[in-house]
Structure 1
Amino acid sequence: MAHQLGLNLPSRTALGRDAFFVAPSNAMAMAMIDGWRGWAGGKLALTGPQGSGKTHLTHVWADLSGAQIISASALQTADIPALARGPVAVEDVHQIAQDDAAQTELFHLHNLVLAEGQALLLTGTGVVAHWGLTLPDLVSRMRGATAVEMDAPDDALLSALLVKLLADRQLTPKPELINYLMTRMDRSFAAAIALVDRLDAASLAQKRPLTRALAAQVLDIAPPRA
């Protein structure tokens, strides 16, 4: 059945390698993840806008390397020496721009991970220079990291992202609906995520299938003609 009524089922985000859609905008990042054993200095900074797939790629790398994943904001309560015994991914480093204590812990983790001969993946929104880090020694270490940026989505990637996000919510739209959304939505990863959240909520609340009429309502535009 092409259209499904929204059911109050838990959203399952697919984060495996097979669920990652490789497009020109992220092909370099995927290649760097695949070749992680050859990272210069044992570390890589993965940058890009919100919703660009950084978390997905982080989980792909964790599967490949056996790495632990931790949010930068959680470093203050983490066992840094224990983390440093294996590969580590630290997500959303930009979020500790005003947190001197967390930056200090990241500095120690960075040094310990590399001293143990392990690999370190760091992610953040925007280029590394704009992460707003203020601890001089940490800033110096970040400047020494190879950085790969995930670019803004092209049509193929944005379309695939919509399909994936809807599939994570057990929704299977017709291709025509994806095309309808693509020509009317803001063209960004963050906009795609927000739109799918709103579509899912509207389908659940109104107990209606995912159609162009429902999409028009969510987008607050005139409904399409039959």
Structure 2
Amino acid sequence: MPEQLAFQLPVRTALGRGDFFVSGANVLAVQRLDDTATWTNGKLALIGPEGAGKTHLAHVWAEQQKAEITDTASLPDLDIPGLKAALAIEVPGTALSTTEEEALFHLHNHMASQKLPLLLIARTPPARWTLTLPDLKSRMTATDVVQIDAPDEALLSAVLVKLFTDRQLQIDPTLIAYLVTHSDRSFAAITRLVAALDAAALAQKRPITRPLARRVLDNLDKDAR
């Protein structure tokens, strides 16, 4: 394998359908987003842990639906009555402000009245969100939920390859298998691992090899203690 040179290159996240790897952990989510006709009252909450691929899958869906993606902080400035297409909203794990809750309530009613699909993207189900507006809470609690599950080895391997590709790094396939075996089995953990490997290779001006990966993994373990 040609020697990999370490350059500080921009991270370019690939968000196309061809870049999304389907496995047993997310196949149900993919199926539900592919068929908005199955969504109760035209809305669906896509939930899962950090780095699970929720935003990526939402971008795939948005492209198919000619929809836009926004977040709750932007809702108060959104022209809700003027919306005429599907919409995806990223919901933070923190409590919403009063104006955000009111805007989400009006958005929900508008999308329902216009029969436009509404996708909510969050880490937890709507029933567990901290909401103070009773009418909004009842509507959110009644939302259909689909979850991206904990990753299997095939999905972890694919996500690792994608994360390295986003950073324009070419990695030996045998190293991918080593990282899957020795890293924490979560999307958040492998995201941090790839960032740490990239930084270490850049700092040491050397390719990402198994010895380097072993040292980075050891350091990550120590930091986690």
Q: Given the two structures, how large is their TM-score scaled by the length of structure 2?
A: 0.91
Equivalent in the alignment of 1:5: 5
Identity %, equivalent residues? 52
Equivalent in the alignment of 1:224: none
8 Å Cα contact 2:45-2:125 kept in structure 1: no
**1:21 equivalent in alignment to 2:9:** no
Distance 1:215 1:10 in 2: 21
Distance 1:143 1:182 in 2: 36
Alignment of 1:75-224 (within 5 A): 75-82=75-82, 84-95=83-94, 97-220=95-218
- Deviations 1:68-116 (Å, cap 9, x if unpaired)? 100112222333333x321110012533x24222111111111112212
**Which amino acid in the other structure matches residue 184 of structure 1?**
H
Alpha-carbon distance, 1:180 to partner: 1.6
Distance 2:79 2:61 in 1: 21
Alpha-carbon distance, 1:127 to partner: 2.5
Alignment of 1:55-74 (within 5 A): 55-74=55-74
2:138 is paired with a residue whose SS is helix
Distance 2:41 2:3 in 1: 50
Alpha-carbon distance, 1:2 to partner: 5.2
Distance 1:3 1:105 in 2: 53
Q: Given the two structures, how large is their TM-score scaled by the length of structure 1?
A: 0.91
- Deviations 1:21-58 (Å, cap 9, x if unpaired)? 11111000000111124422111110111111100110
Q: Tell me the C-alpha RMSD between the 2 structures.
A: 1.6
Distance 1:128 1:67 in 2: 21
- Deviations 1:137-182 (Å, cap 9, x if unpaired)? 1111112221101111111111111111001111121121112211
2:93 is paired with a residue whose SS is helix
**Which amino acid in the other structure matches residue 19 of structure 2?**
A
**Which amino acid in the other structure matches residue 136 of structure 1?**
P
Give the 3 Å change call, closer, same or farther, for CA 189–2 of structure 1 in structure 2: farther
**Which amino acid in the other structure matches residue 131 of structure 2?**
L
**Which amino acid in the other structure matches residue 14 of structure 1?**
A
**Which amino acid in the other structure matches residue 36 of structure 1?**
T
Tell me the number of residue pairs that the alignment of Structure 1 and Structure 2 aligns.
219
Alpha-carbon distance, 1:128 to partner: 2.4
**Which amino acid in the other structure matches residue 86 of structure 1?**
A
Instruction: Structure 2: state its 5+ residue gaps.
Output: 220-225
8 Å Cα contact 1:3-1:172 kept in structure 2: no
Give the 3 Å change call, closer, same or farther, for CA 114–6 of structure 1 in structure 2: farther
